[in-house]
Amino acid sequence: MCGIAGRLAATPLSPEREGRALALMANRGPDGRGAFHAAAPGGNLTLLHTRLSIVDLDARSDQPFTKDGLTLVYNGEIYNYPELRAELRAAGRSFRTEGDTEVVLEAFRVWGPDALDRFEGMFALALFDAQSGRLTLARDRFGEKPLYWMRDGEGGFLFASEIKVLAALAGRKPSVDRDQLRRYLVNGYKALLSERRTFYTDVADFPAASLAILDRPEDPAPRRYWMLEARPDEGMTAEQALEGARERVHRAIARRLRADVPIAVRLSGGIDSNVIAGVARTVHDHPITCFSIVEDDPRYDETAAIRATLARLDLPNVRIPIPRGNFLERLDDLIGYFDGPPLTISYYLHWLVSEAIHEAGFKVALGGTGADELFTGYYDHYLFWLASMKDAPGFEDRVAGWRETYGRFVRNPELQNPHAFIEAPDRREHIFLGRERFSTFLTEPFDEPHREVPYPGSPIRRRMLNEIFHETVPVMLHDDDLASMRWSVENRAPYLDRDLAEFLFTVPDRHLIQKHLPKILLREAGRGLVDDSILDNPRKQGINAPVTSFVDFTRPDVRERLLEEGPLFDIVNRDRFAELLDHEVTLNSDSKFLFSLVAAKLFLDRHAAWTP
């Protein structure tokens, strides 16, 4: 895990800007830094890199990595690098390192862009070919590793792992996209990355599963090299689905245990992280240490489940109490690193866990990102599944099963009718819940209905693909990366594995929910490894907390800080904000909205004072 950046322009990059960019990348790579300069057909090329050493800790694997006319800067991990190295050696290539960086470079030399199809991992990379003068940019299938680009006002093309680094290379701060902020406040996080927007009008997010080749300073034209598609094998039995999922889950976790440093697991009371811990400890006998946030609110307290796992697996655990003081100061620091507001309050908690992981001396942490989207973990998934099964025998028994299990815990009023998506297949009001009311807080109305990409397949598969590529997974990966890299911790997501994802999308819909429990394939993949009380719990759990757990909004100093004049009140009605601070917040949607208002306030104040 590292930081990368680069510039292609007619004029050379000044030493001052280069030094500033490298300094800002230090958290992403505290173990080494380097720069590469070359004259390219399109002008002057600079490639920058800072290293967080995870595999082959020797300096021989430092970057920029140059060999026989190719130069690579690369952020991420290719988990199947030993197998690829064996293939490349059989093809006549030799190696001077033991890590994955040289494997990536040689894979491009032998297979060209087709090498991307062979990589299993997470990455953002830039590869310069001195012979052709071409610069190749690419990003992993799910977009685990970030890559942003912008123009510098002098005709140059810039790219980097973080927006603050782009600003340093350009020598100017980017402009805030106020429509994106309105979208954040009114529609929430699921609307933010559907079209790969950022909070800045002049910064673009390079798309996942894409590559672009440049030979001059121009806007890249990324082309997609992979897409997940629903291809159900209707002849697959339930037993085949369970066994196929179990095998691939175990293999995906094994791949992400490859490292030359100790590994941590972010353990909550939910299924996702518990399966990771159980498989790592029991199946692969890999030493891990668990880190868990502790919340007193009974709605979010997961202590009992965490204790059950620790007792069963005999694992060390670091418990992290939620600090009650200095919330605004901590959040302001987080926003400064994120270059924008965190997209949900969960990533304030992720930030706290990553800080504890770093302080304990760990560089790698595993988490459960993507499991809900791949295994049907959300409350609306059950209803979309019921809509897919409406004509199958036993439908009313399935509805009764929903009422006895998942249906008991649904708080969203739009999802309390088991026939919701049978009666109105295109209804999506539950996704932007409260948007009409939240819009009334703005100085100008904002009305942007939910839009869904019409992927082929059943209703539930269409919903899951939208979440994976447009709504939830991109958002989680964005904040996963920043919350961990602030503390120089590499975050790995075992469930975002190509083989696992492609298999799951061949499973017929009827096998996705069994015994009236969603996520059944993941539950059973952990059977015998995870306490049954966790695997059989119908209630969805995960790291979360209401914003009122962190700060007392009735305190005069808090109110003064949040209501002082600033650019937020060009967008938000100050009096309405004050009224919200005066009222007790009980609804989950209102808590999320209040957090977004607070984060937007701190972000805009910080941007106004930002000097690149």
Q: From the centroid of its chain, how far is CA 22?
A: 24
- Residue in 1, 2, 280, 507 annotated catalytic: 2
Select from 3.40.50.300, 3.20.20.140, 3.40.50.620, 2.40.50.140 the CATH code of 238-374+465-535. 3.40.50.620
Could you tell me the fold of the domain covering 2-177+203-224?
Answer: Glutamine Phosphoribosylpyrophosphate, subunit 1, domain 1 (3.60.20)
Average pLDDT over every residue of 346-367: 95
Q: Check the annotation: does 215 bind a ligand.
A: no
Q: From the centroid of its chain, how far is CA 328?
A: 24
Tens digits of residue pLDDT in 286-314: 999 999 987 766 666 788 888 888 888 99
pTM comes to 0.95
Give the pLDDT band (50/70/90) at residue 611. Answer: confident
Q: How far is CA 561 from CA 176, 264, 322, 555, 592, in A?
A: 21, 37, 22, 10, 19
Integer Cα distance of 509 and 506 in angstroms: 9
Give the pLDDT band (50/70/90) at residue 258. Answer: very high
- Residue 105 contacts residue 127 (beta carbons within 8 Å): yes
The 2-9 sheet, strands edge to edge: 32-40, 43-51, 2-9, 157-160, 148-151, 204-205
Closest CA to 497 of 479, 522, 478: 522
* Domain pair 2-177+203-224 / 238-374+465-535, same fold: no
For the record, the structure tokens of 51 come out as 């290293």
Residues 6+ apart with CB under 8 A from 73: 2, 4, 5, 6, 36, 47, 48, 49, 63, 64, 65, 125, 126
Tens digits of residue pLDDT in 201-233: 999 999 999 999 998 888 899 999 999 999 999
Domain locations in the chain? 2-177+203-224, 238-374+465-535
Closest CA to 350 of 532, 221, 542: 542
**Has 2 been annotated as catalytic?**
yes
Cα diameter, the chain? 71
Q: Check the annotation: does 263 bind a ligand.
A: no
**Strand 32-40 vs strand 43-51: parallel, antiparallel, or unpaired?**
antiparallel
Average pLDDT over every residue of 135-141: 98
- Residue 317 contacts residue 290 (beta carbons within 8 Å): yes
Q: What is the pLDDT of residue 6?
A: 98
Q: What is the pLDDT of residue 174?
A: 96
